[in-house]
Amino acid sequence: MNLVHGGRLVPAAIMSLVILVAGAVQATPARAADPPVPGQIAVLTQNQSLGADLRPVLNARDQPTFQHEIRKALKQVADNPFQVRALAFAYQIVKADPDVVALQEVFDLRRNGEHAAGPYRDHLADTLAALDLLGGRYRVVARVQNMSTTFPVDLDRNGSLETQVGLAEHDVILVREGLTAAPVPFPDLCLRPSLDGCQFQVVSIATDLPNGRVNRERGFVGIDVSLNGRAFRVVNTQLEEFDVEPETGPISRTFQTFQASELITMIEASNPSGRTVVVLGDLASTPDDETILLGTLPVVPGYIVLQTNGFRDALTLDPDNLPLGDTCCQAPDLRNRKSRLDRRVDHVFTTDQPVEVHSDVLGDSELERRLLKRWPSDHGTVYARIRYQ
DSSP string, 166-223: EEEEEEEEEEETT--EEE--GGGTSSSEETTEEE-SS-PPPEEETTEEE----EEEEE
Q: What is the CATH number of the domain that holds 209?
A: 3.60.10.10
Residue 318 has a pLDDT of 95
Residue 2 has a pLDDT of 52
- Quick check: 127 and 45 in contact, CB under 8 A? no
Residue-by-residue pLDDT tens, the chain, 389 positions: 554 444 444 454 455 555 555 555 444 444 444 688 999 999 999 999 999 999 999 889 899 999 999 999 999 999 999 999 999 999 999 999 999 999 999 999 999 999 999 999 999 999 999 999 999 999 999 999 999 999 999 999 999 999 999 999 999 999 999 999 999 999 999 999 999 999 999 886 667 788 777 877 899 999 999 999 999 999 999 999 876 555 555 677 789 999 999 999 999 999 888 999 999 999 999 999 999 888 888 899 999 999 999 999 999 999 988 788 999 999 999 999 999 999 999 999 999 999 999 999 999 999 999 999 999 999 999 999 999 98
Q: Is residue 32 part of a domain?
A: no
Residue 28 has a pLDDT of 46
Residue 213 has a pLDDT of 77
Strand duo 230-238 + 219-227: pairing: antiparallel
Amino acid at 151: F
Residue 7 has a pLDDT of 43
Q: Is residue 257 part of a domain?
A: yes
Q: Is residue 280 part of a domain?
A: yes
Q: Is residue 67 part of a domain?
A: yes
Residue 209 has a pLDDT of 82
Q: Is residue 163 part of a domain?
A: yes
Residue 9 has a pLDDT of 41
- Quick check: 133 and 93 in contact, CB under 8 A? no
Number of domains the chain is built from: 1
Q: Is residue 356 part of a domain?
A: yes
Q: Is residue 336 part of a domain?
A: yes
Question: For residue 168, how many other CB atoms are within 10 A of its CB?
Answer: 17
Structural domain including 316 reads 4-25+37-387
Q: Is residue 30 part of a domain?
A: no
Residue 321 has a pLDDT of 81
CA angle at residue 50 from 47 to 56, to 5 degrees?
A: 120
SS3 386: strand
